[in-house]
A = this chain, B = another copy of it.
Amino acid sequence: MSDIEQYMTQVGRQARGAARAMSRAATAAKDAALRAIAAAIEAQQAELLEANNKDMQAGRDDGLDAALLDRLELNEARIAGMAEGLRQIAALPDPVGGISDLSYRPSGIQVGKMRVPLGVLGIIYESRPNVTADAAGLALKSGNAAILRGGSEALHSNQAIARCVHAGLEKAGLPAAAVQVLETVDRAAVGKLITMPEYVDVIIPRGGKGLIERISAEARVPVIKHLHGVCHVYLDDEADLEKAIQIAFNAKTHRYGVCNAMETLLVAEGIAERVLPELSGMYLEKGVELRGCQTTCRLVPAAKPATQEDWDTEYLAPILSIRVVKDVDEAIDHIAAHSSSHTESIVTENYTRARRFLREVDSSSVMVNASTRFADGFEYGLGAEIGISTDKFHVRGPVGLEGLTSQKYVVLGEGQIRQ
């Protein structure tokens, strides 16, 4: 066994042991740990900034681009944000141990479901060091142990945050091994992490599409993955035009580089002439490049013709593809063919079409008369999220504390035996 395999086996064994202690930890102890970690992060601000400075310097020396350096940077506001996020997680209800659907059966036994932690989470992420605190907090509150593998460029920052996490866990009497941040940047560590089902129950990759596809292909444990967001807004011909324009504008321009931004606008032909000229003027003024179908290009002279590829592209940029469709059926068909099953929204006042869109569109979030930008754990009231699952299995959409748990059956009897 190589050194890295030995190291990972030890990490895995410690995590498995800690997971058992975490699964039965009292809510008060977990909340105390979260608040102690928040306090440690605030108290260690100088050390965190110093560690981050090393990473930033190395990043500049390595020629990281401005966007990456921005994600890598910790400053006073971001450190305060990490502490605040942990206190918010402490304030959320504890999902573990909740029993639902407890009911009597004809045999006399009472059957229900108890919410339980998944066990050991393997979380793999890139650059942003504040994910270390967020992920540790969500894992801890949901009663799981976690093995965190951050980006190599953030190694010093992540280790400094890890020290705060361990101090907080120990202060609350919980095992420090409940959250382990890998101390190696060897890529073989990831290879081992995703192929040791005896120690790891689920892998959660956060990062670019390349990372996630590689991990999904090679993992031998379940993966909760967030692939990409080709999100659609459909403006129905029975839409309230003012709402239609506001939602379509907000969904594209509120932020460009996010997975819940709209990438394709579908417009019913019955309102295209009334909506597209005004809306495209707003987009163009904002600097959004428009790529459209034939009808769109006729109505919006500034739009370029869209290629077949455009309908499947997540731009993450001020670019929008626009297609005029006949009706809600053609919109649903377009979405079925091109969506990444992340988030889609219909704007309509028509009751039946709203209901059909909600039922028939197979995406992790389906909306009526709201901007796709609302697809987010905080906006949904989950308190925090570890990612947005574009899978259907286990959990779909924003993944909060509940998504990091499972349910087991509990049976309460008075001596019942099978006849």
Contact = CB atoms under 8 A, between A and B. Distances in A.
Contact of A374 (B24, B109, B345, B407): B109
Interface string A208-245: 00000000010010100000000000000000101100
Given A111-B380, A366-B409, 8 more contacts: A249-B417, A254-B418, A365-B408, A368-B411, A368-B412, A374-B413, A375-B411, A396-B408
Interface string A148-187: 0000000000000000000000000000000000000000
A113 B407 CA distance: 17
A250 B412 contact: no
Given A373-B417, A417-B246, A418-B254, A222 B393 contact: yes
A31 to B, nearest CB: 18
Given A23-B362, A201-B392, A394-B393, A414 B119 contact: no
A29 to B, nearest CB: 14
Leading 5 A-B pairs by shortest Cβ distance: A370-B413, A243-B415, A250-B417, A373-B418, A367-B411
Contact of A396 (B217, B247, B409, B413): B409
Nearest to A99: B358
Nearest to A363: B408
Interface string A366-386: 111111011100011100000
A96 B386 CA distance: 27
A20 interface: yes
A116 interface: yes
Contact of A416 (B371, B375, B391): B371
B114 A358 contact: yes
Interface of A: 20, 23-24, 97, 103, 105, 107, 109, 111, 114, 116, 118-119, 201-202, 217, 220, 222, 240, 242-243, 246-247, 249-251, 254, 336, 345, 347, 358-360, 362-371, 373-375, 379-381, 391-398, 406-418
Contacts of A20: 336, 362
Given A109-B374, A409-B396, A414 B369 contact: yes
17 contacts: A202-B393, A217-B220, A222-B222, A222-B391, A222-B394, A242-B415, A243-B415, A345-B411, A367-B413, A368-B412, A368-B413, A369-B415, A370-B415, A371-B418, A380-B409, A395-B406, A396-B406
A103 B373 CA distance: 18
A182 to B, nearest CB: 23
Contacts of A396: 116, 406-409
Oligomeric state, in copies: 2
A105 B336 contact: no
A198 to B, nearest CB: 13
A362 B363 CA distance: 32
A365 B114 CA distance: 10
A415 B103 contact: no
A383 B415 CA distance: 23
Contacts of A119: 362, 392
- From A347, A360, A393, residue with most partner B Cβ within 10 Å: A393
- From A105, A366, A380, A408, residue with most partner B Cβ within 10 Å: A408
A139 to B, nearest CB: 15
Nearest to A414: B369
Nearest to A345: B411
Nearest to A249: B417
Nearest to A398: B409
B362 A411 contact: no
Contacts of A366: 114, 408-411
Contacts of A109: 367, 370, 374, 379
A127 B353 CA distance: 46
A379 B24 contact: no
Nearest to A240: B415
